[in-house]
Amino acid sequence: MIRYFTAGESHGKALVGIVEGMPAGIEISAEYINHQLWRRQQGYGRGGRMKIETDTVEILSGVRFGKTIGSPIAVIIQNRDWKNWTDKMAIEGTGAGIEKISVPRPGHADYAGAKKYGFDDIRNVIDRSSARETAMRVACCTFARKLLEDCQVFIGSHVLSIGPVLIKDRKKIDRLIIRSGENSCFVSEKADSSDVRMLDRSAEARAITAIKKSKKSGDTLGGVFEIIVSGVPVGLGSYVHYDRKLDGLLAQALMSIQAIKGVEIGEGFANAAKFGSEVHDEFMLRSRKIMRKTNRAGGMEGSMTNGEMIVLHAAMKPIATLVKPLRAVDLRTKKIVQSRYERSDVCAVPAASVIGESVVAPVLANALLEKFGGDSLKELLNRYKI
Ligand SMILES: Cc1cc2nc3c(=O)[nH]c(=O)nc-3n(C[C@H](O)[C@H](O)[C@H](O)COP(=O)(O)O)c2cc1C
Protein backbone atom coordinates (compact mmCIF):
# COMPACT_ATOMS: atom_id res chain seq x y z
CA MET A 1 0.00 0.00 0.00
CA ILE A 2 1.14 3.54 -0.69
CA ARG A 3 2.32 5.61 2.29
CA TYR A 4 4.00 8.96 2.24
CA PHE A 5 5.84 11.14 4.71
CA THR A 6 6.72 14.81 4.55
CA ALA A 7 9.28 16.79 6.53
CA GLY A 8 10.48 20.35 6.47
CA GLU A 9 9.73 23.75 7.95
CA SER A 10 8.14 26.59 6.01
CA HIS A 11 11.31 28.72 6.21
CA GLY A 12 13.76 25.84 6.53
CA LYS A 13 16.23 24.78 3.87
CA ALA A 14 13.92 22.41 2.01
CA LEU A 15 10.84 20.23 2.11
CA VAL A 16 11.48 16.52 1.72
CA GLY A 17 9.16 13.61 1.08
CA ILE A 18 9.25 9.82 0.90
CA VAL A 19 6.66 7.81 -1.01
CA GLU A 20 6.65 4.11 -0.23
CA GLY A 21 4.66 1.32 -1.86
CA MET A 22 4.34 2.66 -5.41
CA PRO A 23 4.16 -0.19 -7.94
CA ALA A 24 6.98 -0.36 -10.50
CA GLY A 25 6.66 0.78 -14.10
CA ILE A 26 4.76 4.06 -13.68
CA GLU A 27 6.06 6.72 -16.03
CA ILE A 28 6.74 9.94 -14.13
CA SER A 29 8.92 13.03 -14.47
CA ALA A 30 9.82 16.07 -12.38
CA GLU A 31 8.08 18.14 -15.04
CA TYR A 32 4.80 16.28 -14.50
CA ILE A 33 5.00 16.92 -10.73
CA ASN A 34 6.08 20.54 -11.23
CA HIS A 35 2.90 21.21 -13.17
CA GLN A 36 0.86 20.22 -10.10
CA LEU A 37 3.13 22.32 -7.86
CA TRP A 38 2.58 25.27 -10.18
CA ARG A 39 -1.20 24.77 -9.99
CA ARG A 40 -0.98 24.84 -6.17
CA GLN A 41 0.69 28.23 -6.30
CA GLN A 42 -1.96 29.92 -8.45
CA GLY A 43 -5.13 31.78 -7.55
CA TYR A 44 -6.17 35.37 -6.98
CA GLY A 45 -5.63 36.37 -3.36
CA ARG A 46 -2.34 34.60 -2.67
CA GLY A 47 0.35 36.37 -0.64
CA GLY A 48 3.88 37.52 -1.39
CA ARG A 49 5.55 34.13 -1.13
CA MET A 50 3.99 32.88 -4.36
CA LYS A 51 5.77 35.75 -6.11
CA ILE A 52 9.20 35.04 -4.66
CA GLU A 53 9.38 31.35 -5.46
CA THR A 54 8.18 28.84 -8.01
CA ASP A 55 8.32 25.38 -6.52
CA THR A 56 10.19 22.68 -8.39
CA VAL A 57 10.83 19.14 -7.29
CA GLU A 58 13.94 17.02 -7.58
CA ILE A 59 13.45 13.25 -7.60
CA LEU A 60 16.30 11.64 -5.66
CA SER A 61 15.46 7.94 -5.73
CA GLY A 62 12.93 5.28 -6.69
CA VAL A 63 12.70 6.35 -10.34
CA ARG A 64 15.01 5.08 -13.08
CA PHE A 65 14.90 6.03 -16.76
CA GLY A 66 11.60 7.81 -16.18
CA LYS A 67 9.74 4.96 -14.46
CA THR A 68 9.13 3.98 -10.85
CA ILE A 69 11.10 0.89 -9.81
CA GLY A 70 9.07 -0.16 -6.75
CA SER A 71 11.58 1.14 -4.22
CA PRO A 72 10.94 4.10 -1.91
CA ILE A 73 10.84 7.38 -3.78
CA ALA A 74 12.60 10.37 -2.23
CA VAL A 75 11.83 13.91 -3.37
CA ILE A 76 13.01 17.38 -2.37
CA ILE A 77 11.73 20.92 -2.92
CA GLN A 78 14.18 23.68 -2.04
CA ASN A 79 12.80 26.67 -0.12
CA ARG A 80 14.13 29.64 -2.06
CA ASP A 81 13.26 31.95 0.86
CA TRP A 82 15.70 30.01 3.10
CA LYS A 83 18.51 32.44 2.33
CA ASN A 84 16.60 35.10 4.31
CA TRP A 85 16.07 32.77 7.27
CA THR A 86 19.42 31.04 7.79
CA ASP A 87 19.93 32.63 11.23
CA LYS A 88 16.32 32.40 12.44
CA MET A 89 15.94 28.76 11.33
CA ALA A 90 19.51 27.56 11.91
CA ILE A 91 19.90 23.82 12.55
CA GLU A 92 22.82 24.39 14.92
CA GLY A 93 23.68 27.00 17.55
CA THR A 94 21.72 28.29 20.56
CA GLY A 95 19.43 30.83 18.95
CA ALA A 96 20.95 33.55 21.12
CA GLY A 97 19.92 36.98 19.86
CA ILE A 98 17.00 35.63 17.80
CA GLU A 99 13.68 37.18 18.76
CA LYS A 100 11.25 34.68 20.30
CA ILE A 101 7.60 34.77 19.30
CA SER A 102 5.30 34.67 22.32
CA VAL A 103 2.00 35.98 20.89
CA PRO A 104 -0.20 33.19 19.49
CA ARG A 105 -2.37 34.09 16.49
CA PRO A 106 -6.07 33.19 16.81
CA GLY A 107 -7.11 30.50 14.30
CA HIS A 108 -3.62 29.01 14.14
CA ALA A 109 -1.83 26.07 15.77
CA ASP A 110 0.27 28.61 17.72
CA TYR A 111 -1.27 28.44 21.22
CA ALA A 112 -2.06 24.72 21.46
CA GLY A 113 1.21 23.80 19.71
CA ALA A 114 3.37 25.88 22.08
CA LYS A 115 1.57 24.46 25.13
CA LYS A 116 1.76 20.90 23.81
CA TYR A 117 5.49 20.87 23.06
CA GLY A 118 6.51 23.28 25.83
CA PHE A 119 8.00 25.93 23.51
CA ASP A 120 8.80 29.47 24.61
CA ASP A 121 9.18 30.39 20.92
CA ILE A 122 6.06 29.88 18.78
CA ARG A 123 8.21 29.98 15.60
CA ASN A 124 8.69 26.19 16.03
CA VAL A 125 4.92 25.73 15.67
CA ILE A 126 4.35 28.32 12.93
CA ASP A 127 6.94 26.87 10.64
CA ARG A 128 5.63 23.30 10.61
CA SER A 129 1.87 23.91 10.91
CA SER A 130 1.99 26.25 7.91
CA ALA A 131 0.34 25.16 4.67
CA ARG A 132 3.74 25.39 3.02
CA GLU A 133 3.89 21.68 3.91
CA THR A 134 1.19 21.05 1.31
CA ALA A 135 3.70 21.72 -1.47
CA MET A 136 5.40 18.45 -0.52
CA ARG A 137 2.06 16.71 -0.07
CA VAL A 138 1.15 17.65 -3.64
CA ALA A 139 4.53 16.36 -4.86
CA CYS A 140 4.17 13.02 -3.02
CA CYS A 141 0.53 12.51 -4.01
CA THR A 142 1.22 13.17 -7.68
CA PHE A 143 2.81 9.71 -7.97
CA ALA A 144 -0.53 8.16 -6.94
CA ARG A 145 -2.39 10.54 -9.25
CA LYS A 146 -0.28 9.26 -12.16
CA LEU A 147 -1.00 5.63 -11.22
CA LEU A 148 -4.74 6.44 -11.23
CA GLU A 149 -4.49 8.19 -14.60
CA ASP A 150 -2.77 5.10 -16.02
CA CYS A 151 -5.85 3.20 -14.83
CA GLN A 152 -8.14 5.80 -16.49
CA VAL A 153 -9.22 7.28 -13.12
CA PHE A 154 -9.09 11.08 -13.25
CA ILE A 155 -9.39 13.67 -10.47
CA GLY A 156 -10.64 17.18 -11.14
CA SER A 157 -11.86 20.09 -9.04
CA HIS A 158 -13.36 23.55 -9.16
CA VAL A 159 -14.37 26.23 -6.66
CA LEU A 160 -18.04 26.50 -5.66
CA SER A 161 -17.87 29.60 -3.45
CA ILE A 162 -15.52 32.25 -2.13
CA GLY A 163 -16.77 34.05 0.95
CA PRO A 164 -20.39 35.04 0.23
CA VAL A 165 -20.02 34.60 -3.57
CA LEU A 166 -21.54 31.35 -4.84
CA ILE A 167 -21.58 29.92 -8.35
CA LYS A 168 -25.06 30.51 -9.78
CA ASP A 169 -25.51 28.35 -12.82
CA ARG A 170 -25.02 24.89 -11.30
CA LYS A 171 -26.96 23.21 -14.14
CA LYS A 172 -24.52 24.60 -16.73
CA ILE A 173 -21.58 23.31 -14.68
CA ASP A 174 -23.23 19.91 -14.33
CA ARG A 175 -23.61 19.76 -18.10
CA LEU A 176 -19.89 20.54 -18.44
CA ILE A 177 -19.05 17.80 -15.94
CA ILE A 178 -21.24 15.29 -17.80
CA ARG A 179 -19.64 16.40 -21.09
CA SER A 180 -16.21 15.73 -19.57
CA GLY A 181 -17.40 12.08 -19.54
CA GLU A 182 -14.68 9.79 -18.40
CA ASN A 183 -12.07 12.50 -17.80
CA SER A 184 -12.82 14.91 -14.96
CA CYS A 185 -9.41 16.54 -15.54
CA PHE A 186 -11.20 18.38 -18.35
CA VAL A 187 -13.20 20.22 -15.66
CA SER A 188 -9.99 21.06 -13.84
CA GLU A 189 -8.34 22.41 -16.98
CA LYS A 190 -11.34 24.72 -17.49
CA ALA A 191 -11.14 25.77 -13.82
CA ASP A 192 -7.39 26.40 -14.13
CA SER A 193 -8.11 29.10 -16.70
CA SER A 194 -9.98 31.09 -14.03
CA ASP A 195 -8.06 33.12 -11.42
CA VAL A 196 -10.33 31.73 -8.72
CA ARG A 197 -10.89 28.30 -10.36
CA MET A 198 -14.61 29.05 -10.78
CA LEU A 199 -16.50 27.72 -13.79
CA ASP A 200 -19.15 30.43 -13.59
CA ARG A 201 -17.65 33.61 -15.09
CA SER A 202 -20.06 36.03 -13.40
CA ALA A 203 -19.30 34.46 -10.00
CA GLU A 204 -15.57 34.66 -10.84
CA ALA A 205 -15.78 38.44 -11.30
CA ARG A 206 -17.78 38.87 -8.09
CA ALA A 207 -15.36 36.65 -6.16
CA ILE A 208 -12.36 38.71 -7.31
CA THR A 209 -14.16 41.88 -6.22
CA ALA A 210 -14.90 40.28 -2.84
CA ILE A 211 -11.22 39.31 -2.37
CA LYS A 212 -10.09 42.85 -3.33
CA LYS A 213 -12.56 44.35 -0.86
CA SER A 214 -11.50 42.00 1.90
CA LYS A 215 -7.82 42.78 1.28
CA LYS A 216 -8.52 46.50 1.43
CA SER A 217 -10.18 46.15 4.81
CA GLY A 218 -7.36 43.95 6.18
CA ASP A 219 -9.62 40.89 6.21
CA THR A 220 -9.64 37.41 4.65
CA LEU A 221 -12.02 34.91 3.00
CA GLY A 222 -12.64 31.18 2.84
CA GLY A 223 -14.88 29.11 0.58
CA VAL A 224 -15.94 25.72 -0.69
CA PHE A 225 -14.51 23.55 -3.47
CA GLU A 226 -15.69 20.42 -5.26
CA ILE A 227 -13.63 17.37 -6.19
CA ILE A 228 -14.86 15.08 -8.96
CA VAL A 229 -13.33 11.68 -9.67
CA SER A 230 -14.24 9.94 -12.93
CA GLY A 231 -13.56 6.44 -14.21
CA VAL A 232 -13.88 4.78 -10.79
CA PRO A 233 -14.89 1.10 -10.85
CA VAL A 234 -17.70 -0.25 -8.63
CA GLY A 235 -16.70 -1.69 -5.25
CA LEU A 236 -13.63 0.22 -4.07
CA GLY A 237 -13.55 0.44 -0.28
CA SER A 238 -15.74 -1.76 1.89
CA TYR A 239 -18.74 -1.68 4.21
CA VAL A 240 -17.37 -4.51 6.41
CA HIS A 241 -15.13 -2.57 8.78
CA TYR A 242 -14.86 1.08 9.86
CA ASP A 243 -11.25 1.54 8.80
CA ARG A 244 -11.92 0.22 5.29
CA LYS A 245 -14.80 2.60 4.61
CA LEU A 246 -13.72 4.71 1.63
CA ASP A 247 -15.93 7.69 2.45
CA GLY A 248 -14.31 7.95 5.88
CA LEU A 249 -10.81 7.69 4.42
CA LEU A 250 -11.53 10.36 1.79
CA ALA A 251 -13.00 12.67 4.42
CA GLN A 252 -9.91 12.22 6.60
CA ALA A 253 -7.59 13.07 3.72
CA LEU A 254 -9.49 16.27 2.90
CA MET A 255 -9.96 17.29 6.54
CA SER A 256 -6.21 16.95 7.09
CA ILE A 257 -5.58 19.93 4.79
CA GLN A 258 -4.86 23.08 6.78
CA ALA A 259 -8.00 25.24 7.26
CA ILE A 260 -10.46 22.63 5.91
CA LYS A 261 -13.28 22.48 8.45
CA GLY A 262 -16.07 20.67 6.64
CA VAL A 263 -16.24 17.73 4.23
CA GLU A 264 -19.29 16.48 2.41
CA ILE A 265 -19.86 13.42 0.21
CA GLY A 266 -22.22 14.28 -2.64
CA GLU A 267 -25.01 16.56 -1.48
CA GLY A 268 -24.65 15.37 2.13
CA PHE A 269 -25.80 18.49 3.97
CA ALA A 270 -28.57 19.53 1.58
CA ASN A 271 -29.87 15.93 1.49
CA ALA A 272 -30.34 15.98 5.27
CA ALA A 273 -33.20 18.46 4.86
CA LYS A 274 -35.05 16.48 2.17
CA PHE A 275 -37.35 13.44 1.96
CA GLY A 276 -35.73 10.13 1.10
CA SER A 277 -37.71 10.02 -2.14
CA GLU A 278 -36.02 13.27 -3.19
CA VAL A 279 -32.54 12.05 -2.32
CA HIS A 280 -31.74 8.46 -3.24
CA ASP A 281 -30.48 7.78 -6.73
CA GLU A 282 -32.87 5.53 -8.63
CA PHE A 283 -31.51 2.80 -10.88
CA MET A 284 -32.15 2.64 -14.60
CA LEU A 285 -31.12 0.45 -17.50
CA ARG A 286 -29.64 1.81 -20.72
CA SER A 287 -28.81 -0.86 -23.32
CA ARG A 288 -28.76 -3.37 -20.42
CA LYS A 289 -26.17 -1.21 -18.62
CA ILE A 290 -27.06 -0.49 -14.97
CA MET A 291 -27.03 3.28 -14.38
CA ARG A 292 -28.41 5.93 -12.04
CA LYS A 293 -30.77 8.75 -12.89
CA THR A 294 -29.01 11.11 -10.48
CA ASN A 295 -25.83 11.15 -8.38
CA ARG A 296 -26.84 12.84 -5.14
CA ALA A 297 -24.88 10.24 -3.16
CA GLY A 298 -21.66 11.46 -4.75
CA GLY A 299 -20.73 8.04 -6.13
CA MET A 300 -20.55 6.34 -2.74
CA GLU A 301 -23.02 3.92 -1.16
CA GLY A 302 -22.22 1.72 1.84
CA SER A 303 -18.77 3.37 1.95
CA MET A 304 -17.94 1.88 -1.46
CA THR A 305 -17.78 3.37 -4.91
CA ASN A 306 -20.99 2.64 -6.84
CA GLY A 307 -19.63 3.32 -10.32
CA GLU A 308 -20.84 6.93 -10.57
CA MET A 309 -18.41 9.85 -10.36
CA ILE A 310 -17.16 10.50 -6.83
CA VAL A 311 -18.20 14.00 -5.75
CA LEU A 312 -16.67 15.56 -2.62
CA HIS A 313 -17.01 19.03 -1.15
CA ALA A 314 -14.62 20.70 1.30
CA ALA A 315 -15.15 23.95 3.21
CA MET A 316 -12.15 26.15 3.97
CA LYS A 317 -12.30 28.67 6.81
CA PRO A 318 -11.14 32.25 6.13
CA ILE A 319 -7.35 32.69 6.38
CA ALA A 320 -6.51 33.25 10.05
CA THR A 321 -3.71 35.84 9.69
CA LEU A 322 -5.33 39.24 9.45
CA VAL A 323 -3.80 42.64 8.68
CA LYS A 324 -6.61 43.98 10.88
CA PRO A 325 -5.35 42.38 14.10
CA LEU A 326 -7.41 40.27 16.51
CA ARG A 327 -6.93 40.25 20.24
CA ALA A 328 -4.36 37.85 21.68
CA VAL A 329 -2.42 37.25 24.90
CA ASP A 330 1.36 37.51 25.12
CA LEU A 331 2.26 34.16 26.73
CA ARG A 332 5.44 35.69 28.22
CA THR A 333 3.98 38.86 29.78
CA LYS A 334 0.38 37.59 30.17
CA LYS A 335 -0.85 40.90 28.77
CA ILE A 336 -3.61 41.40 26.18
CA VAL A 337 -2.01 42.48 22.91
CA GLN A 338 -2.82 42.60 19.20
CA SER A 339 -2.07 39.43 17.23
CA ARG A 340 0.98 39.40 14.99
CA TYR A 341 0.85 39.76 11.22
CA GLU A 342 3.16 37.69 9.06
CA ARG A 343 3.09 37.76 5.24
CA SER A 344 -0.10 35.98 4.33
CA ASP A 345 -2.72 35.04 1.75
CA VAL A 346 -6.07 36.81 1.65
CA CYS A 347 -7.81 33.81 0.10
CA ALA A 348 -6.34 30.39 -0.77
CA VAL A 349 -9.42 28.39 -1.77
CA PRO A 350 -8.25 27.86 -5.40
CA ALA A 351 -4.93 26.45 -4.13
CA ALA A 352 -6.72 24.31 -1.54
CA SER A 353 -8.81 22.74 -4.31
CA VAL A 354 -5.62 21.57 -6.06
CA ILE A 355 -4.31 20.19 -2.75
CA GLY A 356 -7.68 18.45 -2.31
CA GLU A 357 -7.30 16.74 -5.71
CA SER A 358 -3.85 15.58 -4.61
CA VAL A 359 -4.61 14.18 -1.15
CA VAL A 360 -7.46 11.99 -2.34
CA ALA A 361 -5.18 10.35 -4.92
CA PRO A 362 -3.26 7.98 -2.57
CA VAL A 363 -6.53 7.02 -0.83
CA LEU A 364 -8.09 6.01 -4.14
CA ALA A 365 -4.90 4.41 -5.45
CA ASN A 366 -4.74 2.28 -2.29
CA ALA A 367 -8.38 1.27 -2.69
CA LEU A 368 -7.59 0.23 -6.27
CA LEU A 369 -4.48 -1.68 -5.20
CA GLU A 370 -6.38 -3.35 -2.36
CA LYS A 371 -8.97 -4.68 -4.81
CA PHE A 372 -6.81 -5.56 -7.80
CA GLY A 373 -3.25 -5.70 -6.40
CA GLY A 374 -0.03 -5.66 -8.37
CA ASP A 375 3.66 -4.99 -7.83
CA SER A 376 3.92 -3.35 -11.22
CA LEU A 377 1.60 -1.22 -13.33
CA LYS A 378 1.51 -4.01 -15.90
CA GLU A 379 0.32 -6.53 -13.32
CA LEU A 380 -2.28 -4.09 -11.97
CA LEU A 381 -3.62 -3.31 -15.45
CA ASN A 382 -3.82 -7.03 -16.32
CA ARG A 383 -5.94 -7.63 -13.24
CA TYR A 384 -7.96 -4.47 -13.73
CA LYS A 385 -8.41 -5.27 -17.45
CA ILE A 386 -9.16 -1.84 -18.87
C1 LIG B 1 -3.13 26.56 0.39
C2 LIG B 1 -3.25 27.13 1.76
C3 LIG B 1 -2.65 28.35 2.02
C4 LIG B 1 -2.77 28.93 3.28
N5 LIG B 1 -2.20 30.15 3.48
C6 LIG B 1 -2.34 30.72 4.70
C7 LIG B 1 -1.78 32.02 4.93
O8 LIG B 1 -1.15 32.61 4.06
N9 LIG B 1 -1.97 32.57 6.15
C10 LIG B 1 -2.66 31.93 7.14
O11 LIG B 1 -2.83 32.48 8.20
N12 LIG B 1 -3.19 30.70 6.95
C13 LIG B 1 -3.04 30.08 5.76
N14 LIG B 1 -3.58 28.83 5.56
C15 LIG B 1 -4.31 28.18 6.64
C16 LIG B 1 -3.46 27.80 7.84
O17 LIG B 1 -2.37 27.01 7.45
C18 LIG B 1 -4.31 27.06 8.89
O19 LIG B 1 -5.51 27.74 9.09
C20 LIG B 1 -3.55 26.97 10.20
O21 LIG B 1 -2.38 26.20 10.03
C22 LIG B 1 -4.38 26.37 11.34
O23 LIG B 1 -4.82 25.10 11.03
P24 LIG B 1 -6.38 24.76 10.96
O25 LIG B 1 -7.04 25.89 10.23
O26 LIG B 1 -6.46 23.48 10.19
O27 LIG B 1 -6.91 24.63 12.36
C28 LIG B 1 -3.48 28.25 4.31
C29 LIG B 1 -4.06 27.00 4.04
C30 LIG B 1 -3.95 26.44 2.78
C31 LIG B 1 -4.57 25.12 2.50
259 CB less than 6 Å from ligand 1? yes
State if residue 108 touches ligand 1 by the CB under 6 angstroms criterion: yes
pTM above 0.95, yes or no: yes
What pLDDT is recorded for position 62?
98
3-state secondary structure string, the chain? CCEEEEECCCCCCEEEEEEECCCECCECCHHHHHHHHHHHCCCCCCCCHHHHCCCCEEEEECEECCEECCCCEEEEEECHHHHHCCCCCCCCCCCCCCCCCCCCCCCCCHHHHHHHHCCCCCHHHHHHHCCCHHHHHHHHHHHHHHHHHHCCCEEEEEEEEECCEECCCHHHHHHHHHHCCCCCHHHHHHHHCCCCCCCCHHHHHHHHHHHHHHHHCCCCCCEEEEEEEECCCCCCCCCCCHHHCHHHHHHHHHHCCCCEEEEEECCHHHHCCCCHHHHCCCEEEECCEEEECCCCCCCEECCEECCCCEEEEEEECCCCCCCCCCEEECCCCCCEEECCCCCCCCCCHHHHHHHHHHHHHHHHHHHHHHHHCCCEHHHHHHHHCC
pLDDT tens, position by position, 55-74: 999 999 999 999 999 999 99
Query: Does ligand 1 lie within 6 Å of residue 320's CB atom?
Result: yes
Can you give the pLDDT at residue 204?
97
Determine how many CB atoms are found less than 10 A away from the CB of residue 262.
15
Measured by CA distance, the residue closest to atom 19 of ligand 1 is: 259
- Cβ of 348 less than 6 Å from ligand 1: yes
User: In the prediction, which pLDDT does 48 show?
Assistant: 66
Asked whether 358 lines ligand 1 (CB < 6 A), one says no
Determine whether the shortest distance from the Cβ of 42 to ligand 1 is under 6 A.
Answer: no
Contacts of residue 342, Cβ cutoff 8 Å, sequence gap at least 6: 126, 321
pLDDT at 343: 84
Among 124, 159, 316, 319, which is best to mutate for testing ligand 1, by the most ligand atoms less than 8 A from CB? 319
How far does the centroid of ligand 1 lie from the alpha carbon of residue 370, in Å? Answer: 33
**What's the mean per-residue pLDDT of the chain?**
95
Among 55, 130, 215, name the best residue to mutate to test ligand 1's pocket (greatest count of ligand atoms within 8 A of Cβ).
130
Local confidence pLDDT in tens for the 386 residues of the chain: 999 999 999 999 999 999 999 999 999 999 999 999 999 999 998 986 666 679 999 999 999 999 999 999 999 999 999 999 999 999 999 999 999 999 999 999 999 999 999 999 999 999 999 999 999 999 999 999 999 999 999 999 999 999 999 999 889 898 888 887 777 778 899 999 999 999 999 999 999 999 999 999 999 999 999 999 999 999 999 999 999 999 999 999 999 999 999 999 999 999 999 999 999 999 999 999 999 999 999 999 999 999 999 999 999 999 999 999 899 999 999 999 999 888 899 999 999 999 999 999 999 999 999 999 999 999 999 999 76
For ligand 1, the distance from its centroid to the CA atom of residue 320, given in whole angstroms, is 7
What is the Å distance from ligand 1's center to 380 Cα?
37
C-alpha 2 to ligand 1 mean position (Å): 26
Q: Give tens-digit pLDDT for 62-121.
A: 999 999 999 999 999 999 999 999 999 999 999 999 999 999 999 999 999 999 999 999
Is 345 touching ligand 1 by the criterion CB < 6 Å? yes
pLDDT of residue 182: 72
